[in-house]
Amino acid sequence: MKTTFLKIAFLSISVLTILSCSSDKEDAAQIIIDPPTQDDPLTTSNTINYMVDANASKETVALFYNLKRLAKTKTAIGQQDAFNSFYQDAAGDSDIKKNTGFDPAVLGSDFMFITDKNNNGQANNWYYQQEQKIITDTKAAYAKGIINTFCWHLREPFKEDSFYTADMSAEEKASAFKSILPGGSNNEWYKKKLDKVASVVSNLKGTNGELIPIIFRPLHEFDGSWFWWGANFCTADEYKKAYQFTVDYLKNTKGVHNILYAFSPDNSYTTENNYLSRYPGDKYVDIIGMDNYGDFNNQGQTGSDRANAKLKILSDYAKAKVKIAALTETGYRVTTTTPAITDWFSTLLYSALTKNDIQISYVMFWNNNADGYYVPNGSASNAADFKTYSLKAKSALVNSLPKMYEMPK
């Protein structure tokens, strides 16, 4: 299973706005370019034209704009379940905050338990309790100025026991994905799952009643075949139809207008054409992503350079199409039997995110647990390496984000 940066750059045509502050939830300097240039047509007034949802809430529009702007100078650092997944179960602050003094800039969550068949909406139900915890964490992150992103490990539509194909029969694997498409035997089932997602997202609200924006990356890592929506179990056209249906249903049928949509294969591609082979189209995607663990798994600088080349494909496409590029999942898991890699964060990952003039808006590490970690807390052996990485010029925790949900004045 698998899922940053503020330094004022010198630009020939720019209007510079500085938003200053230094608290755990506030902002730093930000560059604004207006009017549009040939290389960068995005402005505060035309942002909606480049987004999936023409009716997106103003906070969601601001998030798109600010993510795109942030990538010019920094990459936001995030972690899945950061407020609830701790190495050695050492609860309290996020492990990132234990190490650095600041929370992550991005919080990753999952709709998995929210849409689980066992979630009956009752206060004493474990799955419903997880739903409430995720909602509480999302609201708390938003209040701190953190970016929220959701994936969805959706269990297969027959028994709803697993999302892994290793747990499914050959017949189930062959028919599961096709069955959720429009006209398929499980399309109504899929719509009910989307109804639940829509209900939760539409009720995510800040203290002033405003909708809280999220990034949603459905059907991720589809180029592998470990999930039932993977490449071996649907054609490219079927995948595109499912992705398009998901977006259209949430946006048009359910009227959800606080989502940015992310497209995120695993790392199997090496060319733009390969990356786009299952791409549902620019009208359906806000964020051009990639999940990549393999290139960072004891591959040294060679692997880092491979990852950088793949990220450059994303970055170049995002620049050309006015999209946002992101490393939507990555990490190297350290356990008692798998030692940390020297300078993995400060050298290998950082160079992958910054070489060759690429613009990556955020990076997401997977969650920690009792037995291992992707992000070291303050007592782990590679704690200093992560802290060094977090302090580099092109890295951002929450303390060096601009106000992500407001358009700069």
User: Looking at the annotation, which residues are catalytic?
Assistant: 221, 329
* CA 139 – CA 200 distance, rounded (Å): 12
Amino acid residing at 15: V
Structure tokens at 169: 């029969």
Question: Could you tell me if 230 and 267 are in contact, meaning their C-beta atoms sit under 8 angstroms apart?
Answer: no
Pairing outcome for strands 106-110 and 147-151: parallel
Pairing outcome for strands 372-373 and 15-18: unpaired
Structure tokens at 400: 């060096």
Smallest CA-to-CA distance from 78 within 69, 64, 67 is with: 67
3-state secondary structure 257-296: CCEEEEECCCCCCCCHHHHHHHCCCHHHCCEEEEEECHHH
Alpha-carbon distances of 331 from 3, 104, 255, 316, rounded to whole Å: 8, 15, 35, 23
Pairing outcome for strands 362-365 and 334-335: unpaired
* CA 53 – CA 58 distance, rounded (Å): 11
